[in-house]
């Protein structure tokens, strides 16, 4: 079992953000967490990283049960987290190579001396992700797509058991997005790859490697299960509260809105 949420509810500032969330992830599964803005996706991520603790219910991540095990750094070192909140904390003047190396210590900035083994691993990740050519450039000079690749490399430095990608394509154009998606797919196919949780509100970003999908709506689980079952016309029409049609190209879904027996692309 990678993680399990049982009857989890979260109350913040007198408001219920999540209610009765049940979610189980087993080893070998890669999940998409799909929900519109304000659905509670960020709240779930904060719970998984032990930044929040549930108001009700039980959470177990990588065998560590909340409330019974000391978490904090011990848990977070086993979770690679890529998000805009992390990107904002990184030192913009640091070379990209140092940003990646800092992931071995789960620190913002490089304050300890990395071993030769760590340096070799960082170089390998930079090559795998196609960003070795700008390893010595300062982080602030990189494009958004390049920054995301560096962030992913940083997240993989500690050999995490879970890799969380929180809307990693935000701000990317079509080509940069597809290049990044190719890199994510390669990472997922590696032997002993981390379990990936891919957070998005864009259906077209769901790759074939994501065999499971959880639909989150207004802080509650709308549905969860096999991706192909979750992305049916009927289910997504109910989920988005608008009639939609899902077509598949190269094992990737494309969502369209139905209008007077015609379709038009949905800009979700």
Q: Report how far residue 250's alpha carbon sits from residue 254's, in angstroms, rounded to the nearest whole number.
A: 10
Splitting the chain (268 residues) into consecutive groups of 10 residues, what average pLDDT does each group show? Answer: 96 95 96 95 93 93 81 80 87 92 81 87 93 94 93 93 95 91 93 94 95 97 97 96 94 86 52
Distances from the Cα of 28 to the Cα of 48, 165, 191, 207, angstroms: 18, 17, 11, 15
Q: Report how far residue 72's alpha carbon sits from residue 86's, in angstroms, rounded to the nearest whole number.
A: 16
One-character DSSP codes across 130-145:
T-GGGTTSBGGGS-HH
**Contact present, 33 and 85 (Cβ < 8 Å):** no
Closest CA to 45 of 20, 77, 76, 74: 76
Return the biggest CA–CA distance within the chain: 64
Cβ-proximal residues to 68 (8 Å cutoff; 6+ apart), any chain: none
158 token code pair: 């500690």
Closest CA to 52 of 107, 5, 88, 102: 5
Distances from the Cα of 151 to the Cα of 22, 83, 157, 192, angstroms: 29, 8, 10, 20
If phi > 0 it is left, if psi is from -120 to 50 it is alpha, else beta; for residue 260 that is: left
Dihedral angle of Cα 41, 43, 47, 48, to the nearest 10 degrees: 20
What's the confidence (pLDDT) of residue 70?
A: 64
Distances from the Cα of 222 to the Cα of 10, 39, 206, 231, angstroms: 17, 10, 18, 12
Q: Report how far residue 34's alpha carbon sits from residue 215's, in angstroms, rounded to the nearest whole number.
A: 5
What's the confidence (pLDDT) of residue 263?
A: 52
Residue that has been written with the tokens 């970003």 in this structure? 205
Could you tell me the end-to-end alpha-carbon distance of the chain, in angstroms, rounded to an integer? 32
Strands 56-61 and 212-217: unpaired
What's the confidence (pLDDT) of residue 262?
A: 53
Domain boundaries, the chain: 79-159
Closest CA to 89 of 71, 106, 77: 106
Distances from the Cα of 264 to the Cα of 8, 21, 246, angstroms: 37, 33, 11
């Amino acid at each position: 079992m990678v993680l399990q949420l049982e009857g989890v509810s979260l109350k913040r500032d007198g408001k219920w953000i999540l209610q009765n969330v049940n979610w189980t992830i087993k080893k070998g599964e890669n999940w998409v967490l799909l929900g519109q803005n304000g659905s509670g996706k960020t709240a779930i991520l904060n719970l998984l990283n032990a930044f929040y603790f549930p108001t009700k219910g039980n959470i177990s991540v990588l065998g560590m049960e909340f409330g019974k095990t000391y978490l904090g750094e011990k848990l977070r070192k086993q979770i690679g987290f890529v998000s805009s909140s992390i990107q904002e904390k990184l030192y913009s003047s640091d070379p990209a190579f140092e940003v990646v190396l800092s992931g071995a210590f789960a620190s913002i900035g490089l304050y300890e001396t990395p071993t030769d083994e760590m340096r070799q691993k960082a170089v390998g990740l930079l090559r795998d992700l196609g960003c070795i050519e700008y390893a010595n450039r300062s982080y602030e000079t990189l494009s958004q797509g390049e920054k995301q690749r560096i962030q992913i490399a940083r997240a993989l430095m500690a050999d995490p058991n879970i890799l969380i990608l929180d809307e990693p394509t935000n701000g990317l154009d079509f080509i940069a997005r597809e290049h990044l998606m190719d890199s994510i797919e390669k990472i997922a196919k590696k032997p002993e790859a981390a379990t990936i949780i891919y957070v998005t509100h864009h259906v077209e970003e769901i790759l074939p490697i994501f065999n499971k999908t959880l639909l989150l709506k207004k802080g509650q689980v709308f549905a969860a299960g096999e991706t192909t079952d979750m992305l049916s016309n009927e289910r997504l029409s109910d989920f988005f509260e608008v009639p939609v049609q899902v077509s598949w190209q190269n094992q990737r879904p494309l969502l369209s809105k139905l209008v007077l027996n015609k379709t038009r692309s949905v800009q979700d």
